[in-house]
Structure 1
Amino acid sequence: MRVTFVENRGKTAFWAGVAERLAAAGHEIGWIIQNPAYAPPTGDGTRFDLGFPKAADMVDMPVPDAVSTDRGRQYFGAGARHYDFYARRITAALDALRPDVVIGEPTLMHELLSIAECRRRAIPYLHPTMTRYPGGRFNVLDGDTQIPVSGSNETWAPERLAELAGAISEGRSLPSYMARPSPMAARMRQLRRVAGQAQTTLGWLRGERFNTPSPARKLTLQRLLKQNLESWAALARMPDATGPVVLYPLQMQPEANIDVWGRPHSDQVALVQRLLAALPADGAVAVKANPKSKYEASAEMLELARSERRVVLLPLDCPMNDAQAACIGAVTVSGTVGFEAVFGRGRCLALRHPVLEHHLPEFHAETPEDAVARLLADADAGRGSAARGGDLLAQLVADSFEGTINEPTYDPNCLSPENIGKVTDAIAQVLAATPQKAEA
């Protein structure tokens, strides 16, 4: 098959290893490159560089729906006048490479535009990404959705499922992204991050201004975040409402999890306002900061808390267990807390978790208003158990594959021959099950 990869900055080095294995197995590999600083080594296949727009290429146009939550425009000041150029270049890339399948992420501007064009042409766009539970596994999702296109259909023994479900229920098993590295590992990661930041800066100097903030913009954003967290700490308190209190754990932004998968609920300030309006007059919404806070800890969220006492900003160091104990239940868009509720760890209804909507609808709500109404009306809504979690785990295992997908900056072990082999074998299995379009 003709398999085209879409460059995704630091993660491209990982996919280059998989591409090499796929090429050895007879697949024809191509690359769509937006940031040349991250282009894979030559020899990995046909490479199509999108290039950077010139002044004459920059045109005013309505923002395409595909990039309605583009971080470059929303946070980095990139504007929208480059979208037409990149849409045309991506069209040219697909015409030149003629892929049967495209592999990439739904994170950056050029990836979102690629997904839209692939969808228009009925070209499968595969998004391999790590599962939250169980650890050490990954899904292959359909484009910008959370829907797996294929899975391993693997089954685990009931005892194994029950053991892990119990550990999740009791908080003894956490997703890998929540694990804290040892001091030495953290130091080594920081050194790799510095090298990665240097590579990103090189790309910016070469002209990549649409997915990457300028160094000055980045410093400004970091200063604003520090100021906002200081203001949050000054406003923070535990709930004192006489009526019901609903918990809303903020999801980190920018992040595809909320910006793409969370649509149309990506505006978290607006979501908190809707939750508040759905509560009785004596109720409140307790907002828990993300442990890795970024731009979602915004001036708009702070202003909402200042102007509306029923919006409670919890202390920054408030543990999740304490936050849950102070509330009748939680609402999330696509956060991990929605999965954990199935295992009996807290109580939560999720708005954008397809696996819950399709397999465990009692943990899904269509709207924020529906979520609040159900939490108020039914004491068991959004309340699970280790046994229910075991059923969910069985589904998650069948829908996923063993292996680690990551950026080498954060996990250099992802490049080990053993892991690259596991991921390649899984991708090859998905490719084999993917129908090919007849040649025009």
Structure 2
Amino acid sequence: MRLVFVENRGKTVFWSAVAQHLAADGHGVGWIVQNPTYRPNGAPGDVFDLGFPKAADLVAAPIPEAVSTDRGRQYFGAGSRHYTFYRGRIADALDSLRPDAVIGEPTLMHELLTIAECRKRSIPYLHPAMTRYPGGRFNILDGDTQIPVAGSDDTWPAARLSDLASAISEARSLPSYMAKPPAMAARMRQLRRVEAQARTTLGWLRGDRFNTPSPARKITLQRALKENLAAWTALARMPDGAGPIILYPLQMQPEANIDVWGRPYSNQVALVRQLLAALPQNGRIAIKANPKSKYEVSPEILALARETDRVILLPLNRSMNDAQAVSTGVVTVSGTVGFEAVFGRGRCLSLRHPVLEYHLPEFHAHSPEDAVARLLTDPQAGRGSPARGADLLAQLVSDSFEGTINEPTYDPNCLSPANLARVTAAFGQVLDTLPLKAVA
């Protein structure tokens, strides 16, 4: 098959290594590159450089649905006048490279536009992403959705599923992204991050003004975050008094998990207002900040807490267990807390978890209003057990593959020969299920 990879900054190094293995297996390889600083030098295949728009290329036009939550426009001041240029260049790239499948992420502006162009042409866009549970596995998802294109059909013994389900329910097993590395590994990671940030700045200097904020903008955003967290601390309190309390854990933004998978609930302030309107007058919303807070801790969420005492900002040092203990139930868009409820850890309804909607609908809500109503009237809504969790794990294992998808900056072991072999084998298995749909 003809495969095209979409450049994704530091992760391109990982995909270059995977591409070499796939090429050795007989697949053709190509690349779509938005930021030339991350051009996959030495990797197999032709490279289509999208280039940067000139002043005459920047035109006013309606914002495409694909980039309705683009972080560049929403947080970095990139505007929208470049979308028409990139749509055209991506179309040219697909027509030139003629892929049977495209491999990439649904994170950056050019990736989201590529997904839309692939969809027009019925070209599969494969998005590999690590699972939250169980650890050490990944899905190959369909475009900008959370729906697997295909799975491994692996099965685990019932005892293994039960043991892990119990560990998750008791918080003895956490997703890999929550694990803290040893001190030496953390120090090495920080050094690699400094190098990666320098490369990102170089990309901005070379012309990437659409996915990358300027150094000045970045400093301004970090200063604003610090000020907003201080304001949060000044407003923070624990709930008191009677009445139902819905817990809403803020999801970090920018992040594809909420910005893309969470649509149409990516505006978390608007979502909190919907939840509040669905509650009786004595009901309140308690908001828990993300432990890795970014720009979702916004002036708008602070203003809402000042506007009404029915919105409670919980102290930053309170754990999820503390927050759940004072709430009637939790509503999340696409947060991990929604999966954990299936295992009996807390009580939660999710708005945008397809695996729950399709396989465990009692943990899914069709709307914010539906979530509130069910949490208040049905004592069993969103309430799981280790046994239910074991059933979910069986599905997650079947839908996923063993291996690690990551950026070497954060996990150099992703480039180990054993891991590359596992990832390549998984792609081989999925590609065998796809029809040839090359662009004519």
Deviation for aligned residue 1:22: 0.3
Whole-Å separation in 1 of the counterparts to 2:314 and 2:434: 47
Whole-Å separation in 2 of the counterparts to 1:177 and 1:42: 30
- Letter matched to residue 395 of structure 2: Q
Match for residue 253 of structure 2? 253
Whole-Å separation in 2 of the counterparts to 1:359 and 1:124: 24
Tell me if the contact between 2:134 and 2:397 (Cα under 8 Å) persists in the aligned partners. yes
Say whether 1:60 aligns with 2:57: no
- Assess, with a 3 A threshold, how the Cα gap between structure 1 residues 174 and 439 changes in structure 2: closer, same or farther: closer
Say whether 1:209 aligns with 2:196: no
Secondary structure at the aligned position of 1:404 is classed as coil
> Once the two structures are superposed, what CA deviation does each residue of 1:284-331 show, in whole Å capped at 9, x if it has no partner?
000000000000000100000011111000000100001000001100
- Letter matched to residue 231 of structure 1: A
TM-score normalised per structure 1: 0.99
Match for residue 396 of structure 2? 396
> Once the two structures are superposed, what CA deviation does each residue of 1:177-208 show, in whole Å capped at 9, x if it has no partner?
00111221111111000000000011000000
- Letter matched to residue 420 of structure 2: I
> Once the two structures are superposed, what CA deviation does each residue of 1:98-137 show, in whole Å capped at 9, x if it has no partner?
0000000000000000000000000000000000000000
Tell me if the contact between 2:19 and 2:43 (Cα under 8 Å) persists in the aligned partners. no
Whole-Å separation in 1 of the counterparts to 2:258 and 2:394: 25
Deviation for aligned residue 1:53: 0.1
Match for residue 119 of structure 2? 119
Secondary structure at the aligned position of 2:228 is classed as helix
Match for residue 277 of structure 2? 277
Match for residue 79 of structure 1? 79
Whole-Å separation in 2 of the counterparts to 1:237 and 1:269: 19
Q: List aligned pairs for 1:74-223, cutoff 5 A.
A: 74-223=74-223
Whole-Å separation in 1 of the counterparts to 2:57 and 2:394: 50
Deviation for aligned residue 1:385: 0.1
> Once the two structures are superposed, what CA deviation does each residue of 1:361-418 show, in whole Å capped at 9, x if it has no partner?
0000010000000000001100000000000000000000000000111111111111
Say whether 1:332 aligns with 2:332: yes
- Letter matched to residue 231 of structure 2: S
User: Which is further off, 182-191 or 317-326?
Assistant: 182-191
Q: List aligned pairs for 1:287-302, cutoff 5 A.
A: 287-302=287-302
Secondary structure at the aligned position of 1:173 is classed as coil
Secondary structure at the aligned position of 1:26 is classed as coil
- Letter matched to residue 58 of structure 1: L
- Assess, with a 3 A threshold, how the Cα gap between structure 1 residues 439 and 264 changes in structure 2: closer, same or farther: closer
Whole-Å separation in 2 of the counterparts to 1:334 and 1:187: 31
Whole-Å separation in 2 of the counterparts to 1:62 and 1:267: 20
Tell me if the contact between 2:99 and 2:438 (Cα under 8 Å) persists in the aligned partners. no
- Letter matched to residue 125 of structure 1: Y
Tell me if the contact between 2:189 and 2:409 (Cα under 8 Å) persists in the aligned partners. yes
Whole-Å separation in 2 of the counterparts to 1:424 and 1:241: 56
Secondary structure at the aligned position of 2:437 is classed as coil
Deviation for aligned residue 1:438: 6.6
Number of equivalent positions:
440
Whole-Å separation in 2 of the counterparts to 1:438 and 1:25: 19
Secondary structure at the aligned position of 1:356 is classed as helix
Secondary structure at the aligned position of 1:246 is classed as strand
Task: Indicate the RMSD between aligned Cα atoms, in angstroms.
Answer: 0.8
Whole-Å separation in 2 of the counterparts to 1:170 and 1:197: 37
User: Which is further off, 403-412 or 36-45?
Assistant: 36-45
Secondary structure at the aligned position of 2:29 is classed as strand
> Once the two structures are superposed, what CA deviation does each residue of 1:144-169 show, in whole Å capped at 9, x if it has no partner?
00000000000000000000000000
- Letter matched to residue 68 of structure 1: S
Secondary structure at the aligned position of 1:177 is classed as helix
Whole-Å separation in 2 of the counterparts to 1:239 and 1:149: 44
Match for residue 406 of structure 1? 406
Whole-Å separation in 2 of the counterparts to 1:270 and 1:342: 26
Match for residue 313 of structure 2? 313
Q: List aligned pairs for 1:299-378, cutoff 5 A.
A: 299-378=299-378
Structure 2: 5+ residue stretches without partners: none
Match for residue 29 of structure 2? 29
- Letter matched to residue 56 of structure 1: A
Secondary structure at the aligned position of 1:129 is classed as strand
Whole-Å separation in 2 of the counterparts to 1:148 and 1:279: 35
Secondary structure at the aligned position of 1:148 is classed as coil
Secondary structure at the aligned position of 1:150 is classed as coil
Deviation for aligned residue 1:439: 7.0
Whole-Å separation in 2 of the counterparts to 1:222 and 1:241: 36
Whole-Å separation in 1 of the counterparts to 2:384 and 2:439: 50
TM-score normalised per structure 2: 0.99
Deviation for aligned residue 1:437: 2.4
Match for residue 42 of structure 2? 42
Tell me if the contact between 1:109 and 1:211 (Cα under 8 Å) persists in the aligned partners. yes
Secondary structure at the aligned position of 1:428 is classed as helix
State the 4+ residue runs in structure 1 displaced beyond 2 angstroms. Answer: 437-440
User: Which is further off, 411-420 or 356-365?
Assistant: 411-420
Tell me if the contact between 2:121 and 2:439 (Cα under 8 Å) persists in the aligned partners. no
Tell me if the contact between 2:98 and 2:438 (Cα under 8 Å) persists in the aligned partners. no
Whole-Å separation in 2 of the counterparts to 1:119 and 1:43: 26
Match for residue 5 of structure 1? 5
Whole-Å separation in 2 of the counterparts to 1:241 and 1:269: 24
Secondary structure at the aligned position of 2:153 is classed as coil
Whole-Å separation in 2 of the counterparts to 1:10 and 1:226: 27
Deviation for aligned residue 1:241: 4.0
Deviation for aligned residue 1:42: 3.3
- Letter matched to residue 388 of structure 2: R
Whole-Å separation in 2 of the counterparts to 1:285 and 1:361: 24
